[in-house]
Structure 1
Amino acid sequence: MPAEAALKQEDLQAVMTDLGRAARAAAAELALADPATKTRALKAAAGAIRADAAKIAAANAKDMAAARAKGLTPALLDRLELTSDRIEAMAKGVEDVAGLPDPVGRVLAEWERPNGLKVARVSVPLGVIGIIYESRPNVTADAGALCLKSGNAAILRGGSESFHSAGAILDCLQAGLREAGLPAAAIQRIPTTDRAAVGILLTMTDFVDVIVPRGGRGLIERVQRESRIPVFSHLDGMVHTYVHAAADPEMAVDVVVNAKMRRTGICGATETLLVDKALADSLLPRLLKALADAHCAIRGDAIVRRVMPEAEAATEADWETEYLAPIIAVKVVEDLDEAIAHINRHGSHHTEAILTEDAAAAARFLDEVDAGIVMHNASTQFADGGEFGMGAEIGISTGKLHARGPVGAEQLTSYKYKVQGQGQTRP
C-alpha cells in the first residue's frame, strides 16, 4: 500500500512527530560530521541522480500527466517538468554545492578582553529546517543538498503535483547519505499530500528550528499566519526592469526580452518594465516591438498605448501582478526618482534592475531601491543562487532578518560564541 494511502489509516500527528524526532537526532549527528564526509555524501547523491535519471523521468511523467489532466497553467507545467537537461542540471547543482567551502565551524570574529577572556564567534548549523514548496521538484535536490552541506537536517514538503518526482529525487539524496555513513533521516519528506500535515509541521517547535516556504502568495501568507516557528519568507517575484534615459539601446532590447521571456514562470522574471520618458519616442517603440515579436502580451499606460494601440490598458492591479506568463506591464516614468518610488511602492523586495550607462544613476538605484537583489545592466533572470556561485539556493528571502536574497549553504548557519578563560571570575 502506498505511504500516501496508508497515512489515511494512521494518526497523522504521530507520523509527523516521528519525522521530527528522527530529524532532530539526525541533525545532532550531521552537525558534527566532518566536511569530507558531507562532500562524499553529496557527490554520491549527484551520482545517484545521474544513475537513476530514467527513474526520475518516469516519475516526472506521471506527475506531468496528472498535472495536464488537472488543467495546470503552462507556467506551472514548465516549473514541474524535468527534462534530461534539467535532471543533469540537478546533479550538477548538487556537485556544485559539494565543492563549496564548508560553512560550519568558520571563525567569524575573535578578540581578547582586558581580563584575558578569549571570545570567538563561530558558525554553526541552524538545526532542523522545514521546507515547504510547490510544483518545482528540483527544489528537493537543491534544498536537501544545501541543508546537508550546512549541517542541517531537512523535512521537505513538496507540492502534490510533484509527489512522484520528489520521491524519486529524495531516494537519490538518501542513497548518498547512506553511502557516506550518515543517517538517511537527515533528509526526509512528509509522506503524504494531505495539507493537514503542513499545519502540524508549522507547530512542531520541539523539533523544527526554521521554516522556509517557497511558492505563491497563498502559501506564504498561510505559513506566516500559522507558523509558530521562525520563517524565511520568499514572497512573490514582483520584479522590475527600469530602462534609464542613458541606457545603451541595443543592450536594453536584448536584456529586457531575456529578463521577461527566457523563462516566464520563474520568480526572477521581470513583470513590470519601466521606461524613462526621455525614451518614449525613440527606444520605447523598439522595446515594445521586440517584446511583441517574442509573443509577449503588453499591458501599458496611456503613453505605451499611444505607441502601441493594440496593447491592453494597464490597471492599478497590473503594477502588483506576478504574471508568471508571457505578459508584461509597461509604464513610462518621468525620471529616476519616479522609477525608484514606483519600485519601492509596488515591488516585493525580490529583484530589481536598472539599465543605464550613467554610473551615478546606477549607484543611486542600487543604494535606494529596497530589494534583496539589485542589478545594473543585467537580466533579472540571473536572480538565482546558482548564478551567484552559491551552488544552489533554498529560496530567495525577501525579508530582512538573518538572511536576505538567495539563501544558500552559508545563510543556513547561525553562530555561537566560544569563550576561553583561565579561571576568571566576575567581580
Structure 2
Amino acid sequence: MSDLMARRAALLGPNVPTFYDDPVQIVRGEGVWLYDAEGRRYLDCYNNVAHLGHCHPRVVAAIAQQSARLNTHSRYLHEGILDYGERLVAKFGHGLSQMLMTCTGSEANDVALRMAQAVTGKTGLIATDNTYHGNTTAVAQLSTRRPPIGGYPPHVRRVPAPDSLAPLGGSTEAQAAAFAANVARAIEELEAAGHGFAGLMLCPIFANEGMPGLDPGFLDATVAVVHRAGGLVLCDEVQPGFGRLGSHWWGHERLDFAPDVVTLGKPMGNGHPVAAVIARPDIMAAFRNAFGYFNTFAGNPVSCAAASAVLDVIEEEGLVENARDVGAYALDLLSALRHPLIADIRGLGFFFAIEFAREGVPDGAFCGRVVEAAKARGILLGRVGRAQHILKMRPPMPFSRANAERLAETLDQILREMPA
C-alpha cells in the first residue's frame, strides 16, 4: 500500500484525495460489494455511480457489443441517441422534451449555466453557500470546496443553504420563506451591479448541503421569485435522479416544482461516463443558436447503449420500487440507533443521513471516526455537510433488506463502542 501511495504522489502530484485514513485498494466490484487486493469484501453504502450495482452484466454486455460494432460521434446519424433520448425525456413533465448529451455532470451543469445566460442575455448566477456542482471553471465558481483563485467572481452570488441544525429564519417553519428572501436579495444585488440575473442552480434535495429533510413545496416561493425576475431554475439531478428517492424518478418531482433545465450525470451510465441536459425546446434553441455546442464523445453509440441498458435494468428489476420499500425498512432500522451525539436521522429512498452534533454544534471529527470504524468492519460510508458532520449513505439500487440489517447492526456496534 505504501508503494502505491508513493507512486501515486510521484505521478499525480500533491493533494489528490483518497477515501479513508488507510486507503483501500479496490480491485473488483459486483453488485453492492467491492473487493480489495487482499480479497476482503466491503458493503458499498456510498457510491451512487454504480446505480445498478457494480459491473452490472447487462451494462457490461451493452458496452462490449456496441463497442465491437461502432463507436463514433453524433455528427453522423445513428439511432441509438434517438432511441435513448425519446425514452429518457418521456420520464419528464413540464415541457422538458429535448436532450443534449455530455460526458460528465460537470459538463452538463456548465451547459445549463450557459443555457440560462443564452435565454436571458444576462450573466448573474446564484447557488447555495454549501454546494458542489462540478469542476469546470464555470461551475467551480459556484462550489464551496475550493474558492476560486481571486475569490468568487462578481456575477456569482451564494445564498445560505437550508440547514437542519440551524434553520434559516430561526425555525423549520420559517426556512422556506427565508431561503426565498435570500434568493430575492441576491437577484437585486446582481441587477444593481449590472450583471442581471440568469439563473439559480440547486440540487432539489440539497444533497451536498446534507439533505436537510425538506417537505414538498419548500421551493415554491423560491421558484416564484426566480421566474418573476425572468431567470431560470437549473435543477442538478445527478444525485437524486433515476429513482434513488424511491417515491419518484426525480428529486424535483418529490419537491413538487417545475424546473426549466435538468442536469443528469453519474448514475446515468452505471459508471460509464455519460451525462445529459434536459430542457424545454425554447431553452434548447436559445442555447444552440447562441453557442453552436458540440462535444466529440457525448452521445456516442457506446454511451447511448450503456445508458439504455441502465433504463432497461431499472424498469425490469423494479429498482425504484426497491428503493422505496427497502429504503423505508432501512430508515426504520437506522432510526432506532442511539447515541448522545446523534442530532437527527433522515432518509429518502436510498439516501440516508445521520447528523452528529455536540450541544448543537456540528461534530465532524466524531463523524469521521464513525466512517473509519465502519470501513474497518467492511462497510463503506461517506460524510458531508458544512462541517463534514453528516454521515452520508447512498447504496446501489439493488440494496437488500439483509444489506440494510448489516449496515444498521454495524453502526449500532460502532456507536455503542464509541464514547461521546
TM bucket normalised to smaller: under 0.3
TM-score between the two structures when normalised by the length of structure 1:
0.27
TM-score between the two structures when normalised by the length of structure 2:
0.28
Question: Which structure carries more helix by proportion?
Answer: 1
Query: Which protein has the larger Cα radius of gyration, Structure 1 or Structure 2?
Result: 1
| RCO comparison, higher one (Cα < 8 Å, 6+) | 2
